[in-house]
Chain A
Amino acid sequence: MENKLPDLSKMASSTLDMEPIYIDGQKILFDKKVMLMPVTLEENKNSYE
């Protein structure tokens, strides 16, 4: 069994549908790469309040 997931971020969802790749028994729908941006983080208990 393959255990290294290729970078699928440039693959169209239709291609992923045609050549399904599974994680944990589920079919991958999308793989989106997002750059992490610097922010100021503060520690506290309630983030949405």
Chain B
Amino acid sequence: MALAYLKYKGQEDSHYVFHADTGTAKFFRYVLGEKSIKLRVGNSDTIRVVSGNKKASSLFKVNETLHSLRSSFPLKIPEHEVTEGIKYIQLYSFNDANNKAPTVSKILRLMPVRTHNSEFAGITLSLETQEKPIAKNYNTMQNIQLKNKALNYHEPPLSKVMFWNALVGALPSLLQQAAPILGSLLGNLNKGGNNNNNNNSQQSNDITNKVLEVLQTLTKLSNQNTEQSTTQSFKQLSRSYNILPETLLGLQPILEKTLTPEAVEAIGDSPQKLFLAIKDAVLVTESTTRKLGKVPVSKSSSKYSNSKSNFSKAKVAPALLAALPALMPVIEKALNPELIEAVGNQPVKLFKAIGDAVLKMDEQEIKHLEAINPGVDSANDISTLLQGMSVSHALYQEDLIKYNLIKDLNLNVLGTKTVFFKNKNRVLYAKNTRILLPFSITTDHGERLSKIIPRSVIQILIKDAETMKLVFRKTIKLVDIDLSKDIDEAFITEKESESIPCNTEFKLEISYIWKSKSGKNIGVLKNQYIHFIKNVVYDRIGERIGDTIPFNNINIHRKFWHKIWDGGYSNSLRWEVVFDVQYIMALNTKEAGIAKMETKTMQVSDNINEVTEYPKRRQIHARLKSGFELSFEAINQVLQILNQEPLDAELLYVLKRSDAKKSFSLSARYRAEMKGRAGDTSTLWTYPEFALRKLHVSKVESIDSYGQVISIMPQEHVIAMPEIIHFIGTKSEH
């Protein structure tokens, strides 16, 4: 009997090899093509044939001697014949050379595969006979531990990252317009290196004027753009500019008193960080500031002579410039227009309004705020508000020393050096050494005080820069401190810094406190943004390398395939389901494998509730939430599957203790619609596509005698990250 049978065997010597069988037929040809179409045969039957840019081979005759023993034979097709676009192959067999009694095989589909780092990589037939790579990848995949677990993640009501990213995303267009003015401002600052007191004062005024000028220009430009542009964002920004830029400058005095120049630089264009710094500073200072009595001043100079001039360079201008356009959308998003109107040009009201908005991101804080919010907008009420916030503050800082800030004095952190790290100049301290934090006390004009303090205290607080949670505190009692000299007594020992996490941004707050004549605590403080690092430190996950790589092999990548729903309905003639699906990807640093998380379902509607019997057409709408958990060990195995070098143990250790985990907090949403008849079943699957990305880490090169890291060496590695999720809906066939 004539036959046409074709099965893929593998690749050999630049040929694709198939197992062919023509039965009793002695002639055959194979056909390659782009499409598979149905042809009608007779009245009701159809057959599938290859079509579209079809390439038919010559007519071949089987080896009759061998064929008489066995009708199957190997069919070799040169690789170059399977060009891009060719998707199908089919075998035709004939009884004679005149194409008599043709028989066609089933069509085999050829799967083109793209590799991660190249253009089109040629044709690879993704069948199971590619033994070598499959065996290797299969074994690697088998080593990944797989768990099923409860879905124990959720997004906070307003996702901070997406929210702030959206806000900061609005910055470049506005800052670009301000760049020339900002450039001239900073240029002027740089020229004034060794400035005397008068120059300082004059420069400070100049800065304030310049800042005002820039802010007003920004306002005008934005308004002009609003008129010209129809985009929603600019319209919204325009409406928000009902608040005068000068109002924001009302915050400037607090910032100058409480932040080092390096801290201002670390804040950069992050409105969230700026706000938190303002809030934290105000908690300490706002309602309790006082002026110092007359104290003789000294002209003695510091060995750290650059500190004052460095401060004048940074000031708060750049941060405020950046914060202005970013704070406006905060106001626009979080407050209603009437309230914005009501704020007017009062910094206190503005502070409270922004404070309310940002606090909404933290459920605990907003509840607390609601409880203590006096609900009126007078200047005095801000004091009540802040005192209430201080109660919250004190919940975890009840034993901290409280003091009244002296407005006339400055605490200057000395000898600070920065290193370019995570795209900014930052202050880094080494963990495996003693850290010294020298400072001086000067008047607003940079003059030293000729005064000896018999008893005083240095209070060192280290707080998480994002949450302001206290992670370290230390007090150092001092006797007979001469304020005309540098104070070198503040330090953190190697043992003390052991418990502080590496590679996380912290706010270091140094306070110098003593008793006034009336017996009250008075003092000065300064904040610094710092990182603690060890030998190797995580920097960032950078740019993508090549295309995404689908984990679409049901055998090899089986552990990454996730059936998140299956079901069907038999009591109605037809059924329809609509699922609003959220699929999350998370990374667990405490476990070593991967986990498929359960699917949580929340029904939105079901028309069975509306009638007493099963409806003819059952309609269900529900929300599904499911997800997948990775680990750095699993990422390492994914790297091996993708023929990349795995990360070594030291790097894994560093990554696990870094904030790299945040880059793996991902989510995808999709609305899936499926329908069927009574008895049909459907499933919803997911599988990921991974991308290779550059992993930037830094290696400590040198540390100075104060424990500051003064140079680091950047290093690059490769890491795999999930980038795309496929949602696949399937249905049973009758």
Contacts and interface: CB of A to CB of B under 8 A. Distances in A.
Given A25-B732, A32-B670, A39 B554 contact: no
Interface string B537-557: 000000000000010111110
B154 A44 contact: yes
A36 B725 contact: yes
Which of under 10, 10 to 19, 20 to 34, or 35 or more describes the interface residues of B?
Answer: 35 or more
B154 A2 contact: no
A3 B554 contact: yes
Contacts of A4: 111, 113, 126, 552-554
Contacts of A47: 151-154, 600, 625
B155 A35 contact: no
A33 B24 CA distance: 47
B730 A23 contact: yes
A13 to B, nearest CB: 9
Contacts of A44: 152-154
Interface string A15-35: 000111011111111111111
Contact of A1 (B128, B553, B667): B128
A22 B733 CA distance: 10
A33 B112 CA distance: 18
B666 interface: yes
Contacts of A9: 726
Nearest to B674: A29
Contacts of A33: 689, 724-726
A36 to B, nearest CB: 4
A23 B310 CA distance: 65
B330 interface: no
Contacts of A40: 155-156, 159-162, 662, 665
Contacts, number: 154
Contacts of A45: 150, 152
B728 A37 contact: no
B553 A43 contact: no
Nearest to B680: A26
Contacts of B583: 34
A30 B675 CA distance: 12
A48 B726 CA distance: 24
Interface string B551-581: 0111110000000000000000000000000
A38 B552 contact: no
B7 to A, nearest CB: 10
Contacts of B75: none
B724 A19 contact: no
A13 B731 CA distance: 12
Contacts of A36: 585, 666-668, 722-725
Contact of A2 (B127, B556, B674, B689): B127
Interface string B36-57: 1010000000000000000000
B473 interface: no
Contacts of B556: 3
Interface string B194-207: 00000000000000
A24 B728 CA distance: 12
B555 A3 contact: yes
A39 to B, nearest CB: 4
Given A1-B128, A23-B554, A48-B600, A39 B681 contact: no
B351 to A, nearest CB: 25
B729 interface: yes
Given A26-B683, A38-B663, A40-B161, A3 B128 contact: yes
Given A26-B732, A29-B730, A35 B668 contact: yes
A27 B670 contact: no
B109 interface: yes
A24 B161 CA distance: 38
B111 A2 contact: yes
A26 B165 CA distance: 41
A39 B128 contact: no
Given A9-B726, A34-B583, A40-B156, 15 more contacts: A2-B111, A3-B127, A3-B553, A4-B126, A4-B554, A6-B109, A20-B733, A36-B668, A38-B665, A40-B662, A41-B154, A41-B586, A41-B665, A45-B152, A48-B625
26 contacts: A1-B127, A3-B556, A4-B553, A6-B552, A7-B550, A20-B733, A26-B682, A26-B730, A26-B731, A26-B732, A30-B729, A31-B727, A34-B724, A34-B726, A39-B155, A39-B159, A39-B667, A40-B160, A40-B662, A41-B154, A41-B586, A41-B665, A42-B153, A42-B155, A47-B154, A48-B602
Interface of B: 36, 38, 109, 111-113, 126-128, 150-156, 159-162, 165, 550, 552-556, 583-586, 600, 602, 623, 625, 662-663, 665-670, 672, 674, 681-683, 685, 687, 689, 722-733
